[in-house]
């Protein structure tokens, strides 16, 4: 087993990883930018090193500095967390070259899955139904794209092959818009991801975003932990995540789970990963794989009782996870609300909700600073319950207990969604946020 691990991240995920490391008896090394001197992950880690000024490009994204600190500190492994370098094949390779374990997928797997066109090809190879669309890059091929779009029927969506975080997507309603959309999407992809490759898909109407959590040991032990429904999104960014999904039957769950296991086994996948599907009119379609742990892994921890970060570390370090498929029982219901800062600044008072089956993952404390340099998510409130109805009420109660003073956060908006008939009845699609907010105005 490893003795010491460097966390190449910040915020709630760094804090989350430190907690599991403590339980595993692993010493942690935190890194931080000048903006994060007083951050919670810095206080909680066994050791902490400043790696540069506030902008991520000069600190959290500096692969050379991160690996040097880890090597100097004699760390055995690096955990990249989520975002930043978590899906960077070069970083995973660099960590390996320095004789340390990367707590994530192998570089070649990250590379293959990071190209969404290639990921769809691999999924099809193992017999998974994908969203209809172009089988390859479609840059500048207006005529070919037009023919395919006519065949599939409008609307279609142009997406960045290297895309992420809901960016680099363009919906095309009619043939006249296609040429321009191809150019704009490619330019956006180039400036956001330094890779202008774009592809095309049928734009599904009001689908559900459903994903399956997977764990693997790099060999035969590959298991799935059921689904999460992440259909409540603002600008394609997830806001509320729940499990089980109101549109997934036992039969569909089993099929999705088996698809996920086939794909991950094919990749000899080690650690935690997610396969994302869109569900439309009773049918599910593969969309992409996230070759890392996700923000919303906590929902699945609540329904299964499995510490996903712990199993991820064990699976990556020596391929010895403590769970197999037979151990997985999905109990009741879980819901997560992402709390996002609407303004940066000093948090004068913070109190997390307590009480039955209520969990808060955060880096906030009274007197901490929320910096404008990084992701706006400051906390995740997660509740578990016997039923969905009970879970929604529990979340409402928890959100009313949450105290964050000094900065503005999105709690009112989350309450509006929770109380909306669309969300309550469970009959909605990925456009639900716009519908609810539009109805309120």
Binding residues with ligand ADP: total (CB under 6 A): 19
Whichever of 18 and 158 has its CB closer to ligand ADP, that residue is: 158
Interface positions, 220-239, toward ligand ADP (CB under 6 A): 233, 236
Is 204 one of the binding residues for ligand ADP (CB under 6 A)? yes
How near is the Cβ of 45 to ligand ADP at its closest, in Å?
29
Is 201 one of the binding residues for ligand ADP (CB under 6 A)? yes
DSSP string, 242-267: EES-TT--HHHHHHHHHHHHHHHHHT
Whichever of 178 and 278 has its CB closer to ligand ADP, that residue is: 278
Is 131 one of the binding residues for ligand ADP (CB under 6 A)? yes
Per-residue binding string, ligand ADP, 313-352, x by CB under 6 A, is: ----------------------------------------
Whichever of 229 and 361 has its CB closer to ligand ADP, that residue is: 229
Q: Where are the alpha helices (DSSP H) in 270-326?
A: 297-304, 308-317
Residues with Cβ within 8 Å of residue 42, at least 6 apart in sequence:
30, 32, 36, 48
- Tell me which stretch binds ligand ADP (CB under 6 A): 76-84, 199-207, 214-222, 249-257: 199-207
Secondary structure letter of residue 329 according to DSSP: -
Is 165 one of the binding residues for ligand ADP (CB under 6 A)? yes
Residues with Cβ within 8 Å of residue 242, at least 6 apart in sequence:
228, 229, 299, 333, 334, 335, 336, 388, 391
Is 207 one of the binding residues for ligand ADP (CB under 6 A)? yes
The answer to whether 89 touches 112, Cβ cutoff 8 Å, is no
Is 209 one of the binding residues for ligand ADP (CB under 6 A)? yes
Give the angle 368-295-70 at the CA atoms, nearest 5°.
70
d(CA 159, CA 163): 7
Q: Catalytic pick from 292, 310, 359, 388?
A: 292
The answer to whether 78 touches 109, Cβ cutoff 8 Å, is no
Query: What are the respective helix, strand and coil percentages of the chain, to the nearest 5?
Result: 40, 25, 35
Whichever of 165 and 367 has its CB closer to ligand ADP, that residue is: 165
DSSP string, 346-411: E--EEE---STTEEEEE---TT-EE-TTS-SEEEEEEEEESSHHHHHHHHHHHHHH-EEESS-BSH
**Bond from prior residue into 141 cis (ω within 30 degrees of 0):** no
How near is the Cβ of 420 to ligand ADP at its closest, in Å?
18
Is 166 one of the binding residues for ligand ADP (CB under 6 A)? yes
22 part of the active site = no
Is 164 one of the binding residues for ligand ADP (CB under 6 A)? yes
The answer to whether 303 touches 371, Cβ cutoff 8 Å, is no
Is 288 one of the binding residues for ligand ADP (CB under 6 A)? yes
Whichever of 230 and 306 has its CB closer to ligand ADP, that residue is: 230
- Tell me which stretch binds ligand ADP (CB under 6 A): 15-23, 134-142, 201-209, 395-403: 201-209
One residue of 112, 198, 287, 418 binding ligand ADP per CB under 6 A: 287
Point out which residues bind ligand ADP (CB under 6 A): 131, 157, 163-167, 201, 203-204, 207, 209, 233, 236, 276, 278, 287-288, 430
* Catalytic residue IDs: 292
């Amino acid at each position: 087993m490893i003795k010491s691990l460097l966390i190449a991240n910040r915020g709630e995920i760094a804090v989350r990883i430190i907690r599991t490391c403590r339980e595993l008896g692993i010493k942690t090394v935190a890194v931080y930018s000048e903006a994060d001197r007083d951050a919670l992950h810095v206080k909680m880690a066994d050791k902490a090193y400043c790696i540069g000024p506030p902008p991520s490009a000069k600190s959290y994204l500096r692969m050379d500095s991160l690996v040097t600190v880890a090597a100097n500190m004699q760390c055995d492994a690096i955990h990249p967390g989520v975002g930043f370098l978590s899906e960077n094949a070069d970083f995973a390779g660099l960590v390996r070259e320095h004789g340390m374990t990367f707590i994530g997928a192998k570089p070649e797997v990250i590379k293959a899955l990071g190209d969404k066109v290639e990921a769809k090809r691999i999924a099809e190879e193992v017999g998974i139904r994908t969203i209809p669309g172009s089988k390859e890059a479609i840059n500048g091929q207006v005529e070919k794209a037009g023919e395919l779009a006519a065949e599939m029927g409008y609307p279609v969506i142009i997406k960045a092959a290297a895309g992420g975080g809901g960016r680099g997507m363009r919906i095309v309603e009619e043939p006249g818009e296609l040429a321009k959309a191809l150019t704009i999407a490619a330019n956006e992809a180039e400036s956001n991801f330094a890779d202008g490759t774009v592809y095309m898909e049928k734009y599904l109407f009001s689908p559900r975003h459903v994903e399956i959590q997977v764990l693997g040991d790099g060999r035969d032990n590959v298991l799935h932990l059921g689904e999460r429904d992440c259909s409540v999104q603002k600008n394609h960014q997830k806001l509320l995540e729940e499990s089980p999904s109101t549109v997934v039957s036992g039969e569909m769950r089993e099929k999705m789970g088996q698809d996920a296991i086939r794909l991950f086994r094919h990749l000899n996948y080690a650690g935690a990963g997610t396969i994302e599907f869109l569900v439309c009119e009773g049918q599910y379609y593969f969309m992409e794989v996230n070759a890392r742990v996700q923000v919303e892994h906590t929902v699945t921890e609540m329904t299964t009782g499995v510490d996903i970060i712990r199993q991820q570390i064990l699976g990556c370090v020596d391929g010895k996870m403590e769970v197999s498929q037979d151990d997985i029982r999905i109990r009741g219901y879980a819901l997560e609300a992402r709390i996002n800062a609407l303004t940066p600044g000093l948090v004068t008072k913070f109190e997390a909700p307590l009480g039955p089956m209520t969990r808060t993952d955060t880096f906030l404390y009274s007197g901490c600073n929320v910096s404008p340099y990084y992701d706006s998510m400051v906390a995740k409130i997660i509740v578990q319950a016997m039923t969905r109805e009970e879970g929604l009420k529990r979340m409402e109660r928890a959100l009313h207990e949450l105290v964050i003073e000094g900065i503005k956060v999105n709690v009112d908006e989350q309450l509006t969604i929770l109380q909306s008939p669309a969300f309550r009845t469970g009959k909605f699609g990925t456009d639900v946020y716009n519908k609810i907010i539009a109805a309120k105005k």
